[in-house]
Amino acid sequence: MDRLDAMNVFVRIVEVRSFSKVATDLGLPRSTVTDAIKALEARLGVSLLHRTTRVVRPTLDGEAYYQRCLSILSEIEDAEDAFAGTTPKGSLRIETHGVLARHFLLPSLPGFMARFPNIEIHIGEGDRLVDLVREGVDCTIRVGDPIDSNMTGRKLTDLEEVTCAAPTYLERFGTPQNIDALKGHQMIGFRSTATGSILPLEFVQNGILRTVSLPTPITVSGADTLAHCARLGHGIIQKPRYSAAEDLAAGRLIELLSDTPPAPSPVSIFYPRDRYLSPRVRVFIDWAAKAFSHQ
């Protein structure tokens, strides 16, 4: 059994958690499947699977190797499909903020699925940075500039930002009329997952970017928690206008300092710089660009 066949066997075992079932599905003797995994572990010098009489599951090294195998096997399939002229197909894994997905992607997703019915999309949500190659993720949609030099990207849009606070907060601290009047106020700290630091408030005044750091009695690392804390009156925040629109319209949040707004935040779709882009990733990137521009 060659390396690619062995990788495929290993992937199937991780997914179905059974040597016997994989052997049956592939029409192979169970001993052949067992020997293939033993040979892989011997060549790599690590244990890939925990085996008991009742369950088979990957070790930490096995999980990392599984993600790399998925990427390699997927690229081989994509290369063959490109020459065969077939329509894009296969599994597509993306990572993004849940709010971005719900506002910009999900409303138009049925049209994409109708056009490319053989693509299966897996959407992961979270604020953490993702190692695309190691975790087998095809692309990630993020706000801000790329941090990892091994990634490249395509800009999708600029998000207008807004400064706001709850009425209950403004009753306690007053409503600032300019940037200098922020002295004596407090903000809800948002800790960047990229740098670990608390992001300051930003304001564009006469074309010049000014930053202001205020006391932060509460610090969070999630966008939803940031907004919830603001609604409870814990401090001033800055967030994309689209995600604050309902709270602003309902009066749960009040816009502040509208004549000196924050700088817009770029949204881009990132993917590994040196990775061959499969047909399914290419069509998704093109579609995502249109989805964001329409919104």
Residues 166 and 258 occupy one common structural domain:
yes
pLDDT band per the 50, 70, 90 thresholds, residue 204: very high
The answer as to whether 153 is a domain residue is no
Distance in angstroms (rounded) separating the CA atoms of residues 5 and 73: 10
Instruction: Classify residue 248 as exposed, middle or buried by CB count within 10 Å of its CB (0-12, 13-18, 19+).
Output: middle
Residues 235 and 248 occupy one common structural domain:
yes
SS3 for 271-285, per residue?
Answer: EECCCCCCHHHHHHH
The answer as to whether 45 is a domain residue is yes
pLDDT of residue 45: 92
Packed helices 19-26 and 30-44: angle between N→C axes, nearest 10 degrees: 110
Query: How many domains are contained in the chain?
Result: 3
Residues 238 and 275 occupy one common structural domain:
no
Residues 100 and 20 occupy one common structural domain:
no
The residue count of the chain comes to: 295
Residues 110 and 185 occupy one common structural domain:
no
Distance in angstroms (rounded) separating the CA atoms of residues 187 and 136: 37
Instruction: Identify the CATH number of the domain in which residue 276 sits.
Output: 3.40.190.10
The answer as to whether 105 is a domain residue is yes
pLDDT at residue 191 above 80? yes
For the chain, give the mean pLDDT. 87
The answer as to whether 35 is a domain residue is yes
Sign of CA dihedral 157, 158, 160, 163: positive
- Residue 110 · residue 175 · CB < 8 Å: no
pLDDT of residue 215: 96
Encode burial over 161-176: b for 16+ CB neighbours within 10 A, e otherwise: bbbbbbeebbeebeeb
Q: Any alpha helices (H) in 85-159, and if so which ranges?
A: 98-100, 109-115, 132-135
Residues 182 and 245 occupy one common structural domain:
yes
- List pLDDT tens digits, range 239-258: 999 999 999 999 999 999 99
Instruction: Classify residue 62 as exposed, middle or buried by CB count within 10 Å of its CB (0-12, 13-18, 19+).
Output: buried
- List pLDDT tens digits, range 20-45: 888 887 888 999 999 999 999 999 99
- What is the domain extent for residue 165? 161-263
pLDDT of residue 276: 62
pLDDT at residue 218 above 70? yes
* 33 closest CA partner among 46, 18, 44: 18
Residues 49 and 8 occupy one common structural domain:
yes
pLDDT of residue 264: 92
Residues 132 and 60 occupy one common structural domain:
no
| Of 4-8, 13-17, 118-122, minimum mean pLDDT range | 13-17
Name the more confident of 234 and 221.
234
The answer as to whether 150 is a domain residue is no
pLDDT at residue 134 above 80? no
pLDDT of residue 185: 97
Distance in angstroms (rounded) separating the CA atoms of residues 237 and 220: 11
DSSP 101: I
Instruction: Identify the CATH number of the domain in which residue 22 sits.
Output: 1.10.10.10
- List pLDDT tens digits, range 57-96: 899 999 889 888 887 887 787 777 666 666 788 888 898 8
Residues 178 and 257 occupy one common structural domain:
yes
pLDDT band per the 50, 70, 90 thresholds, residue 16: confident
Residues 128 and 271 occupy one common structural domain:
yes
pLDDT of residue 148: 59
pLDDT at residue 130 above 70? no
pLDDT of residue 97: 84
- List pLDDT tens digits, range 167-178: 999 999 999 999
Residues 126 and 272 occupy one common structural domain:
yes
Sheet of 237-240: strand order equals: 237-240, 161-165, 254-256
The answer as to whether 155 is a domain residue is no
pLDDT of residue 192: 80
Beta bridge partners of 141: 96, 269
pLDDT at residue 289 above 60? yes
The answer as to whether 79 is a domain residue is no
Distance in angstroms (rounded) separating the CA atoms of residues 268 and 142: 6
The answer as to whether 149 is a domain residue is no
Distance in angstroms (rounded) separating the CA atoms of residues 261 and 102: 25
